Structure 1
Amino acid sequence: MKQLLKPVLALGLMTASATAITAPAMAQQAQGVAVVNIPAVVANSNAYQTAQQQRQTTYAAQIQQAETRQQQISAQLKPLVDKFNADRQAATPDRASLQQQAGQIQQIEQAGQRELQQILAPVVASQTYVNEQIEDRLDEAVQAAATKNNVTLVLSASNGQILFAGPTHNLNQQVLAELNTLLPAAALVPPQGWLPREIRQQQAAQAAAQAQQAGTAPAAPAQQQPTGR
């Protein structure tokens, strides 16, 4: 099941290790400076972990349907792939036939991926919805943790510019504690009509552009009234 969801739900959080929270971060040591591994904090938060568990039950039907359909697609492709490999190893392979076979295999694979993505669309929407709820409280959690620990500068542990940091500069646990307080649990199922933040922002930008265009469009010249003699 995890192998099935991995290509579809690759959001960068499922691979975060729980040990990443306590592992020493790398940063330049300085008074009042701390580093935070945001993906690790998110992946270890109560809201994220609880949603991961609930999702397997809430969307069990979609996950099972996708697994079954993937098995069917694999069974459909196997004889075609076997024949393609056998024909390719012939002494004088028919290149035109091989090209036709490869095109057929690719077409089935692409159609299968689209079908699986459609089946798992509610699962993906749920994960995106949960992630957004967590992201909405992250800044507040970081600021609260920094204030309580007398930190004036917080650096990202994944920006590639950090060289070293002692354990006292690792703010992961404090940010995680604040995040768990601010968001103990996240709603799992998106409300009707909900759209991901990226799409909402695109729609808002388009609406603003259309409104600006409508407001700045030059007015049509008034028709000149005929003058009497």
Structure 2
Amino acid sequence: MKTFAKIIALAALAGISQAAMAAPAAKPAAAAPAASASAGVNGVAVANLDAVVANSLAFKKAQADREVTYKAQLDAAKSKEAALNAQIKPIVDKFQKDRAAPGANVNALAAAAQQQVQQIQEQGKAEIEKIVEPVRLSDAYVLEQIMDKRAAAVQSAMSKAGVTLLLNPEAILAATNAYNLNQQILTELNTSLPSVQIVPPAGWQPREAREAAAQQQQAPANESR
């Protein structure tokens, strides 16, 4: 799920807040001007494909729609997070007070406070993850639909720009915007997939989970041979 994680990071998804995903973290696709008809030299260009996905119409629309469709879950998770913070605050306040007392064993007080806080956080994290599980599945469902169209968008943009070799920006020390194919790919992707479904079918699992389940089913058959 490396690609999934990178796209989510580019979209600035932080904890339970889907609103943070709208932050313009993926600047390359949005800021890069259109490359010339023949990109770069000898058909070479660069593109940040994860940034393209994060800036696509389908991805951004899904973020906005998710705020409405999953509002109950998101609100419940935020409320739970606030309740956890309310539980933790008295522990922190008590530690601050106790450490100021003459002869206080600060290390022991800190260890005790940390243990209490950690227990609350671990329990709360599990509860929040359960609350937002439908949202996580929606994230994965949206990305899978977009990723299924991305390869075709890349090929179409490369063909139109006369590009025969497309490189990842991470592998490039320096390049001008003339080599950047982000906008062309983004245009192709937006044309072919302006929107996606955000609610997965009942029982749907991400491709990685489906593949893992398939491998587990095949393992007993292979062992019996």
Match of 2:131 among 119, 122, 127: 119
Residue 116 of structure 2 corresponds to 104
> Highest Rg: 1 or 2?
1
Look up the equivalent residue of 2:152 and give its one-letter code.
E
* Partner Cα separation in structure 1 for residue 82 and residue 110 of structure 2: 25
* Residue equivalent to 1:17: 25
Q: Could you tell me the TM-score, scaled by structure 1's length?
A: 0.81
SS of 2:46's equivalent in the other structure is strand
Q: 1:129 aligns with which of 132, 141, 151?
A: 141
User: Aligned with 1:154: secondary structure?
Assistant: strand
Unaligned runs of 5+ in 2: 1-12, 35-39
Alpha-carbon separation, structure 2, partners of 1:8 and 1:155: 34
User: Does residue 85 of structure 1 match 2:96?
Assistant: yes
Counting matched residue pairs gives 206
1:168 alignment partner in structure 2:
178
Among the aligned pairs, what percent are the same residue? 44
- The answer (yes or no) to whether the contact 1:146–1:152 under 8 Å persists in 2 is yes
Q: Which amino acid aligns with 1:84?
A: F
CA distance in 2, matches of 1:9, 1:204: 33
2:208 aligns with 198
2:80 alignment partner in structure 1: 69
Q: 1:14 to 1:203 in 2, by over 3 A?
A: farther
Question: Displacement of 1:123 after TM fit?
Answer: 1.0
SS of equivalent to 1:193: coil
Q: Give the distance between the partners of 1:7 and 1:67, measured in 2 at CA.
A: 10
2:198 pairs, out of 184, 188, 201, with 188
In the superposition, relative to structure 1, how do residues 197 and 92 fare at CA in structure 2: closer, same or farther (>3 Å)? farther
How many angstroms apart in 2 are the aligned matches of 1:17 and 1:76? 33
Matched, 1:7 2:34: no
Which residue of 2 is the match for residue 40 of structure 1?
51
**What is the rounded CA distance, in whole Å, between the counterparts of 2:214 and 2:204 in structure 1?**
14
In the superposition, relative to structure 1, how do residues 179 and 57 fare at CA in structure 2: closer, same or farther (>3 Å)?
Answer: same
Partner of 1:223: none
Q: Which residue of structure 1 aligns with residue 8 of structure 2? A: none
- Taking structure 1 as reference, are residues 148 and 103 closer, same or farther at Cα in structure 2, changes over 3 Å only? same
Determine which of 63, 66, 69 is the counterpart of 1:55. 66
> When the two structures are superposed, what TM-score results if normalisation uses the length of structure 2?
0.82
CA distance in 1, matches of 2:96, 2:14: 27
CA separation of 1:105 and 1:19: change in aligned 2, threshold 3 A: closer
Paired letter, 1:111? Q
**Quick check: 2:22–2:63 contact (8 Å CA) kept in 1?**
no
Deviation readout 1:77-100 (Å, 9 max, x if unpaired): 100111123223433334556533
Query: 2:16, 2:77 within 8 Å by CA — same for their partners in 1?
Result: no
In the alignment, what sits opposite 2:189?
Answer: 179
Q: How far apart are 1:14 and its partner, in Å?
A: 5.6
Q: CA deviation at 1:124?
A: 1.2
3-state secondary structure, aligned to 1:91:
coil
